[in-house]
């Protein structure tokens, strides 16, 4: 798993607004085994980091100051943003104890062209993140779910996913992703309409009312 590195400097003085005007973002690093440390981050470097990580990505924080440099593994705990510009105003970094498990929300990413969607269904994603429990070094950056083989009426549950070295904090039977028929139509009606539309196309005619074209309208 790739470890992202971020250079920060210990902040010994200066008000937060003055730090921001200088092109830096104030932050704090804390955890059960380290003393809370105020730091500053170059705004540009923070933007680059945020474009590459998720909230469950481990970050190697290189802290310079007090006559030396030290490195700690951290997660982004919280980000305060400007309500208008969405620029980060302050960041909290959390340093966990390496041998102690923690709970984190891991983002879910859907990949693949779903067969059920191609057949006129609607892909219903029920979760954006999945809570997991495990050692810091085992927390995944993303949980990727391939929906390529999912057909109309089928679902992917927690029990179907390989979580590696971490434990999902959802019941095994909990549905994560499912393909549903367009509103007002049953799965059988949608499949029959598509089959009729394909047959009409092969014969050079138009799709009958209630076929694929109408099913798409019902799903809008």
208: its two tokens: 């009958």
Q: Are 170 and 105 in contact (CB under 8 A)?
A: no
Q: Are 71 and 63 in contact (CB under 8 A)?
A: yes
Domain with 42, as residue range(s), is: 4-97
- pTM of structure: 0.75
| Residue 52's CATH number | 2.40.240.10
Report the percent of the chain where pLDDT is more than 70: 82
| 42 and 118 both lie in a single domain | no
| Residue 116's CATH number | 2.170.120.20
d(CA 110, CA 146): 6
| 55 and 123 both lie in a single domain | no
Which pLDDT does position 138 carry in this prediction?
Answer: 94
| 107 and 83 both lie in a single domain | no
Which pLDDT does position 128 carry in this prediction?
Answer: 95
| 61 and 133 both lie in a single domain | no
Q: Which residue has the higher pLDDT, 195 or 5?
A: 5
| 26 and 108 both lie in a single domain | no
Q: Are 161 and 176 in contact (CB under 8 A)?
A: yes
| 176 and 190 both lie in a single domain | no
| 124 and 205 both lie in a single domain | no
Which pLDDT does position 66 carry in this prediction?
Answer: 77
Which pLDDT does position 18 carry in this prediction?
Answer: 87
Q: What is the pLDDT of residues 32-51, one digit of tens each?
A: 999 999 999 999 999 999 99
| 132 and 191 both lie in a single domain | no
Domain count, the chain: 3
> How many contiguous H segments (helices) and E segments (strands) does the chain have?
5, 13
Q: What is the pLDDT of residues 75-110, one digit of tens each?
A: 999 999 999 999 999 999 999 998 899 999 999 999
């Amino acid at each position: 798993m790739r470890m992202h590195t971020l250079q920060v400097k210990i902040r010994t003085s200066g008000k937060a607004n003055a730090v921001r005007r200088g092109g830096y973002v104030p932050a704090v690093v804390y955890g059960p085994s380290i003393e809370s440390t105020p730091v500053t981050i170059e705004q540009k470097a923070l933007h680059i980091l945020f474009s590459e990580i998720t909230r469950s990505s481990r970050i190697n924080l290189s802290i310079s100051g007090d006559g030396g440099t030290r490195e700690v593994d951290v997660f982004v705990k919280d980000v305060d943003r400007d309500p208008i510009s969405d620029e980060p105003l302050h960041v909290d970094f959390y340093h966990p104890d390496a041998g102690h498990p923690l709970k984190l929300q891991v983002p879910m990413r859907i990949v693949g062209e779903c067969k059920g969607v191609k057949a006129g269904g609607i892909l219903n994603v029920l979760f954006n993140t999945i809570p997991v429990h495990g050692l810091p070094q085992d927390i995944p950056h993303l949980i990727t779910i391939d929906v390529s083989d999912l057909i109309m009426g089928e679902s992917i549950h927690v029990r179907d996913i390989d979580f590696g070295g971490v434990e999902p904090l959802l019941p095994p039977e909990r549905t994560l992703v499912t393909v549903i028929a367009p509103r007002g139509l049953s799965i059988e009606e949608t499949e029959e309409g598509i089959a009729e539309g394909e047959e009409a196309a092969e014969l050079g005619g138009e799709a009958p009312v209630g076929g694929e074209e109408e099913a798409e309208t019902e799903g809008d």
